[in-house]
Amino acid sequence: MLNLILFGPPGAGKGTQSEKLIAKYQLVHLSTGDIFRSNIKGGTELGTLAKSYMDKGQLVPDDVTIRLLESEVNKHPNAKGFIFDGFPRTIAQAEALDAFLAKKGQSISVILSLEVEEDELRQRLTERAKSSGRPDDADPAVIQKRIDVYKNETLPLKQHFTAQGKYQGINGIGEIETIFNALCEKIDKVKNVVAK
C-alpha cells in the first residue's frame, strides 16, 4: 500500500495537489478539514463541535480527530492506499496514526511537505476567502492564528518524520503543474521501493 501524508501550513496547496494525486495514483483522499466541513454542512453533532474550534483557527481536539480519522480509514478496507491531507497535525495524532496502521500491518510510506513562506500563505488565504466561503479564511486574525498554531503544534512533526527518515520537503511556490511533478517524482521513488 502507498500511504502518503501531505503536510504543510494552511494555504500551502495540499487540497489542490491532493485532487491531482488521487486521480493519478487512485488513492483514497482523507482530508480532516473537508470531513469536518461536511459535518458542519450536515448539521451533525461533530460538525457543531468542530465549528467551535475551526472558526477560531484552533485545532479540533486530538481524541475527536483521531477517532474520526480511524473510522474513515476503516470505511475503505480495499483501498490501494491513502492520502492523508491535514492529518496528522500534532505529535499525538502522528503517534496514533503510526500505531493504528501498525495494527493493520501497514505504515506511512512518505511525508510530502509543501514548503511555503508565511507572507505568501497570508496572501493566498486572503485571496481564497473571496471564493471559498470559509469563515476561517475571511478574518485576518483567524488566518494568523492558524499560521501560529501550525508553527507551534504542527511544525514539530517535521522533526518526528525526519527521525523516521520519511520527510521530503517540496517547494510549494510556483506553477501547480511544476509542484505536482515534483511530488510525483518523490512518490514514484517510494513506489519503486514499496513494489520491490
Give the catalytic positions in this structure. 14, 89, 128, 134, 146
Binding mask 165-184 for ligand ADP (x = CB under 6 A): --------------------
Residues in binding contact with ligand ADP, number by CB under 6 A: 18
Q: How far is the CB of 193 from ligand ADP (least distance, A)?
A: 27
Type of residue at 170: I
**From CA 73, how far away is CA 162, in angstroms rounded?**
24
Q: How far is the CB of 196 from ligand ADP (least distance, A)?
A: 32
CB 49 within 8 A of CB 26: no
Question: What's the angle, vertex CA 147, arms to CA 129 and CA 29, rounded to 5?
Answer: 70
The residue at minimum Cβ distance from ligand ADP is 33
Residue 13 touching ligand ADP (CB under 6 A): no
Type of residue at 180: F
Q: Return the residue of 5, 21, 60, 170 that touches ligand ADP, per CB under 6 A.
A: 60
Residues that bind ligand ADP (CB under 6 A): 10-11, 32-33, 36, 53-54, 57-60, 65, 86-87, 89, 93, 136, 146
